[in-house]
Amino acid sequence: MLRHTVRQGESIISLSQQYGVPVDKIWDHPDNRALRQRGRTKSILYPGDAVTIPDHETKEVQAATERRHRFSCRGRTTWLRLRFLDKGRPRHGEPYELHIGAQKFTGDLNGEGKLEVRLPADAEEGILLLGSPPRQETIRIRVGHLDPLDEDEGVRKRLQNLGLLAPGGDDSSGERLRSALRRFQKMQGLAATGALDDATRNKLIEVHGS
């Protein structure tokens, strides 16, 4: 058993792949209760979180000598689901080309403006070409880089995805974040307080999808 300090981009799923321990065995480990209570999920951790990784389980297999045996280790894959909107409306039917590692996925966004692909669990970075030339957009996909909603950074990144907040820039006072929240609240018909109350939080999850 070891304690793993989470880096940006890691999730329980990617740690499962990394350490060869089943997802549920990591997630359900009693030492990780605090993570669960703090609202972390198997998909979304925060840099600095400490995750207890149980030891490998030993599996014994009977095999005769003088014969060849084949053992396969199933590599874990995971779903990546992305949704693209234009002024709040799905961009359905637009062609996409997703490059992650050596893999390439192509298709059209579905009626909800979504694409769904299965990726290796440790995938972290990809390039998405969306649309057709000459209006093709290039989007960098940062898999596992979405932070928990309980952290300011998690709120920021969701608002950034929704085009309401820019990455970078000085916001030590948090005013830009409050302003972006206020605009989000107005767009969603909520009370424009600039605070992440429960209603806003739920709406953000609903609109963003996570």
Binding interface with other proteins (CB under 8 A):
11, 13-14, 41-44, 78-88, 114, 119, 121, 123, 128, 134-135, 137-147, 157-158, 160-169, 176, 179-180, 182-183, 186, 192, 207-210
Q: Which residues, at least 6 apart from 174, have a Cβ–Cβ distance to it below 8 Å? A: 152
Residue 39 CB, shortest distance to other proteins, in Å, is 13
Closer of 59 and 87 to other proteins (Cβ)? 87
Closer of 164 and 190 to other proteins (Cβ)? 164
Closer of 62 and 167 to other proteins (Cβ)? 167
Q: How far apart are CA 25 and CA 182, in angstroms?
A: 40
Residue 59 CB, shortest distance to other proteins, in Å, is 26
- Which secondary-structure segment (H or E) carries 5? strand 2-5
Q: What is the largest CA-CA distance in the chain?
A: 74
Residue 138 CB, shortest distance to other proteins, in Å, is 6
Closest CA to 201 of 149, 152, 147: 149
Closer of 38 and 81 to other proteins (Cβ)? 81
Residue 72 CB, shortest distance to other proteins, in Å, is 23
CA distances from 58 to 20, 54, 55, 72, 80 (A): 11, 12, 9, 15, 31
Residue 158 CB, shortest distance to other proteins, in Å, is 8
Residue 108 CB, shortest distance to other proteins, in Å, is 16
Q: How far apart are CA 62 and CA 85, in angstroms?
A: 54
- Secondary structure of residue 14 in the 3-state scheme: helix
Closer of 187 and 197 to other proteins (Cβ)? 187
Closest CA to 100 of 122, 68, 69: 122
Closer of 13 and 53 to other proteins (Cβ)? 13
CA distances from 14 to 10, 27, 38, 66, 134 (A): 6, 12, 20, 38, 36
